[in-house]
Amino acid sequence: MFEGKNVLVTGSAHNVGFGMAKVFADYGATVFVHGPTAEETTAAAEALSAKGGRYIPVAADVRHEDEVARAFEFIAQQVGGLDVLINNACHLGLGHRFLDMPMDFFDDVLAVNLRGYALCAQLAARQMITRGGGAIVNIGSNTAGRALGDRAAYIASKGGVESLTRAIAVELGEHRIRVNCVIPGYIHTERWNTLTEEVKQRRWTNVPLGRESTPQDIGEAAAFLASDKAGNITGECLRVSGGIDIQLVPPDCAV
Ligand SMILES: NC(=O)c1ccc[n+]([C@@H]2O[C@H](COP(=O)([O-])OP(=O)(O)OC[C@H]3O[C@@H](n4cnc5c(N)ncnc54)[C@H](OP(=O)(O)O)[C@@H]3O)[C@@H](O)[C@H]2O)c1
């Protein structure tokens, strides 16, 4: 599905991004594995390559414009430019109640989760224009639509991701660049393994399909939206959450 295509998955040295990188490489893409440091991106690209596929490490802190610009120059030199960008790198934004949240913390979360997405999308789109088009998929979060406590900055940033998706989809359509969003619910990451069995069981009970997503589930949705199969879809947000968001209240709260 992506033979001859060049794909950048931001934040792909671990967890969901790592799994998505594998999905795209398995579909034939050359995948740029990205993270804030050269050490971790190199290690991740080596680990992925050991399973087959073409991976190239590229490091940049998405908060810093000069570093990101250098990373995109590197991509252009290596392969001539991007066909697909998956904006995934994130600051989890944990640890502050809103009333006590330092505004520097708020700025930092948005610098990664929203400004970082816009910056990568802008630089990617400029490369895609020279290649006759492309696709951008932004990874959002279901917390943007249904909030939780203690994560105001993260949740605000993810709401912004959905709006940014539609805003740039409108502008980039004339360049044959489609922009869409995947909205995950629970995903199985390294953090999932730290949950108690009781918490896992409660979460599964609350998901109509009975399980959390895998990084591969998110990658397959992103791959569909980035592929020619979604050739007339842009500005769309696709939920991949096992249905947890479609309920009035979760079963363990139902009365
Ligand atoms: N996990 C879930 O249950 C869940 C649910 C809904 C939505 N999502 C979304 O899915 C995506 C992936 O989630 P995840 O759980 O895999 O997150 P994660 O484990 O925190 O991974 C995010 C990646 O982004 C990188 N990153 C952080 N700050 C960066 C920066 N300034 N510059 C460059 N890279 C940076 C991290 O690198 P370092 O590790 O080196 O900092 C990390 O590899 C996110 O967009 C998240 O919002 C996740």
Q: What is the pLDDT of residues 201-219, one digit of tens each?
A: 999 999 999 999 999 999 9
* pLDDT value at residue 255: 63
- Which atom of ligand 1 sits closest to the CA of residue 213? 3
Neighbours of 209 (CB within 10 A): 12
CA of 92 to the centre of ligand 1 (A): 7
Pocket of ligand 1 (CB under 6 A): 11, 13-17, 35-36, 40, 61-63, 88-92, 112, 139, 141, 184, 186-187, 189
Work out the mean pLDDT of the chain and round it to a whole number.
97
Active site residue 154: yes
**Residue of 12, 90, 138, 192 to mutate, ligand 1, most atoms within 8 A of C-beta:** 90
* pLDDT value at residue 62: 98
Q: Taking the complete model, does pTM exceed 0.75, yes or no?
A: yes
- Which atom of ligand 1 sits closest to the CA of residue 212? 3
**Residue of 10, 12, 16, 206 to mutate, ligand 1, most atoms within 8 A of C-beta:** 16
- 6-253 classified as CATH 3.40.50.720: yes
pLDDT digits (tens, 9 = 90+) for 53-90: 999 999 999 999 999 999 999 999 999 999 999 999 99
> Residues of the chain with pLDDT > 70: what percent?
99
